[in-house]
Amino acid sequence: MKVTVIGTGYVGLVSGVCYAEIGHEVTCIDVNQDKIAQLRKGKSPIFEPNLEELMNKNIHNGKLQFTDNYLDGIEHAEVILIAVGTPCKQDGTADLQFVESVAANIALYIKKYAVIVIKSTVPVGTNHYIGELIKKNLVHDTDFDMVSNPEFLREGTAIKDTFNGDRIVLGSDSSKALAIVEELHKQFNIPYFLTDTRSAEMIKYAANAFLATKISFINEIAKICEKVGANVEDVALGMGKDKRIGEHFLKAGIGYGGSCFPKDTKALVQIAGNVEHDFELLRSVIKVNIGQQQALIEKAISYFGDLSEKKIAILGLSFKPNTDDMRDAASVVITDKLISLGASVIAYDPVTIENAKKILNPRVTFNTNINEVMYDADCVFILTEWDQIKQIDLRVAGRLMKNPVFFDGRNCFTLEEAQRAEIDYFSIGRSAVIRNFD
Ligand SMILES: NC(=O)c1ccc[n+]([C@@H]2O[C@H](COP(=O)([O-])OP(=O)(O)OC[C@H]3O[C@@H](n4cnc5c(N)ncnc54)[C@H](O)[C@@H]3O)[C@@H](O)[C@H]2O)c1
């Protein structure tokens, strides 16, 4: 099948590469010319395990090409997938300007029947709105159908998720278009869930809002655990063994971040508001998450009293491991706050330092050597559970530091490991470990 993917970000690039891998002829379009030039040289602009290898394999076997020219991409396409960003505006609503711009280009260049699939996360009614927009502006007299196909891949495991997803959600009122999009995904061998367009659009927001709710819920439980002397890790394990609850997304920490949960939860609150429903529960989920980013700072203030002049080593900057994505990462808020409190901040991350430099406070300094970052520090903050961070020897690390004090926002170590290392160790939802000076 001839497939065109518009937008080569985390979703578009991974999807394009995976469609090529299962045998389709894929053209990826992006307006960012630097990105296209880089992709043509076989360099992935994002860090995603196995992406670059699979991309190069398919470029070399002629299944995958990149262009910034809409005409090249759209003219012959049987399926056109829209995977551009839908960031949130100031008021939380999804900004559809990139999707609208794609619609204008499709209307200009489409010459024969194609199925237009929206993969971007878009508010309910957007597929209908974009379909009407294209129809109104069509230059050539042709037919097309719209299909909503929300994307559920997770950064860090995006390739694996594309081949092993739990379901492929497809929403459309055209059975012809649905059959074509089912055929497109056939080789993935993943069950389809077919529904109407509005329900498909809603499934994506509802799924992300529910997962965000699980995270804020366990973070609230964590706060209570700290006060009553329970261990949130055990509480989550014990809860998760109940199949009705499930073990995933019950990891207490400094909250969710990234390019999806923060914006999609805010957008759903707005979608509800537009139909006069106050989504009180989701507003609380968002509020809890914002508060949770302060958890380590509060612990550090209560330990030291004052953070001015303290040298704080930050381990991990990306919003989660195995990605270089800094969008809505907790590290942005935390490093800003530490600097405003007078601390000096030095940061380590195994892959995202170049991205971090563009958005973190300019007073943050960086180093790719984890031991040098911890050297002479008053304390360490762990913000991302990269393997490289989980594998540090706490005892050795403690000896490098001025004070062996750890504030772990991702519960990377057991309390026993912290006790054995003779460090002061503060984590989320568990008792503090304090050195014994006897
Ligand atoms: N990132 C994720 O993990 C994830 C997961 C599921 C769903 N989504 C959704 O998928 C969509 C894309 O997310 P992303 O993270 O891949 O975005 P992204 O910001 O990484 O990439 C978007 C790409 O679109 C390009 N673009 C913008 N306007 C364009 C235009 N008019 N024509 C061609 N290209 C254009 C940009 O240059 C960029 O390369 C969003 O709606 C997001 O909510 C993202």
CATH tag, 2-194: 3.40.50.720
What mean pLDDT is reported for the chain? 97
Known binding residues for substrate are 152-155, 204, 249-253, 257, 320
The residue contributing the CA closest to ligand 1 atom 15 is 10
Chain-centre distance for alpha carbon 199? 23
pLDDT in tens, 284-322: 999 999 999 999 999 999 999 999 999 999 999 999 999
Give the pLDDT band of residue 436 (cuts 50, 70, 90): confident
Rg of the Cα trace of the chain? 24
**What is the Å distance from ligand 1's center to 351 Cα?**
21
Choosing from 28, 225, 260, 412, the catalytic residue is: 260
* Residue to probe by mutation, ligand 1, list 30, 35, 106, most atoms within 8 Å of CB: 30
Confidence at residue 414, expressed as pLDDT on a 0 to 100 scale: 97
With a cut of 90, say whether residue 134 has pLDDT above it: yes
85, pLDDT greater than 80? yes
pLDDT at 438 over 90: no
Asked if residue 106 lies in contact with residue 132, where contact means CB atoms within 8 angstroms, the answer is: no
Our CA dihedral for 102, 107, 113, 116, rounded to 10 degrees, sits at 20
Q: For ligand 1, is residue 30 a contact (CB within 6 Å)?
A: yes
Q: Quick check: CB of 98 below 6 Å from ligand 1?
A: yes
Residue 137 has a pLDDT of 98
Tell me the per-residue pLDDT of 217-238, one tens digit each, with 9 for 90 and over.
999 999 999 999 999 999 999 9
Per-domain residue ranges of the chain: 2-194, 203-291, 293-426
Measuring from atom 37 of ligand 1, which residue has the nearest CA? 32
Nearest Cα neighbor of 303 from 212, 407, 229, 221 is 407
Report d(CA 311, CA 341) in Å as an integer.
Answer: 12
CA dist 48 and 155 (Å) reads 7
Residue 259 CA to ligand 1 centre (angstroms): 10
Round to whole Å and give the CA distance between 219 and 282: 15
pLDDT in tens, 389-412: 999 999 999 999 999 999 999 999
User: Does pLDDT of 8 surpass 90?
Assistant: yes
CA-nearest of 211, 147, 213, 156 to 183 is 147
Ligand 1 near 155 CB (within 6 A)? yes
CA 346 vs. chain centroid, Å, equals 24
Given the candidates 4.10.490.10, 3.30.70.1290, 1.10.10.410, 3.40.50.720, the CATH classification of the domain at 293-426 is 3.40.50.720
- CA dist 14 and 158 (Å) reads 7
User: Which residues belong to the annotated binding site for NAD(+)?
Assistant: 30, 35, 86, 121, 155, 263, 327
By DSSP bridging, strand 344-348 and strand 379-382 are unpaired
Mean pLDDT of 72-97: 95
Q: Which of 4, 8, 10, 34 to mutate to test the pocket of ligand 1 (most atoms within 8 A of CB)?
A: 10
378 lines ligand 1 (CB under 6 A): no
- The answer, yes or no, to whether any atom of ligand 1 lies below 6 A from the CB of 302, is no
pLDDT for 169: 98
pLDDT of residue 346: 98
Closest CA to ligand 1's atom 1:
10
Q: Rounded to the nearest whole angstrom, what is the distance from the C-alpha of residue 227 to the centroid of ligand 1?
A: 42
Determine the pLDDT at residue 393: 97
- Binding site as annotated, residues: 30, 35, 86, 121, 152-155, 204, 249-253, 257, 263, 320, 327
Indicate the length of the chain as a whole number: 438
Cβ-based neighbours of 372, under 8 Å, separated by 6 or more: none
**What are the distances in angstroms from CA 229 to CA 36, 41, 129, 175, 220?**
54, 55, 53, 57, 14
1.20.200.10, 1.10.940.10, 1.10.1040.10, 3.30.360.10: which CATH number matches 203-291? 1.10.1040.10
Annotated catalytic residue 28:
no
Does residue 437 surpass a pLDDT of 80?
A: no
pLDDT tens digit sequence for 168-183: 999 999 999 999 999 9
Report pLDDT for 340.
98
pLDDT class for 253, splitting at 50, 70, 90? very high
- For residue 157, CA distances in Å to 174, 191, 298, 320 come to 32, 19, 32, 11
Q: Quick one: three-class SS letters along the chain?
A: CEEEEECCCHHHHHHHHHHHHCCCEEEEECCCHHHHHHHHCCCCCCCCCCHHHHHHHHHHCCCEEEECCHHHHHCCCCEEEECCCCCECCCCCECCHHHHHHHHHHHHHCCCCEEEEECCCCCCCHHHHHHHHHHHHCCCCCCEEEEECCCCCCCCCHHHHHHHCCCEEEECCCHHHHHHHHHHHHHHCCCEEEECHHHHHHHHHHHHHHHHHHHHHHHHHHHHHHHHCCCHHHHHHHHHCCCCCCCCCCCCCCCCCCCCHHHHHHHHHHHHHHCCCCCHHHHHHHHHHHHHCCHHHHHHHHHHCCCCCCEEEEECCCCCCCCCCCCCCHHHHHHHHHHHCCCEEEEECCCCHHHHHHHCCCCCEECCCHHHHHCCCCEEEECCCCHHHHCCCHHHHHHHCCCCEEEECCCCCCHHHHHHCCCEEECCCCCCECCCCC
Of 216, 206, 252, 192, nearest in space to 385 by CA: 252
Atom of ligand 1 nearest to the CA of 121: 41
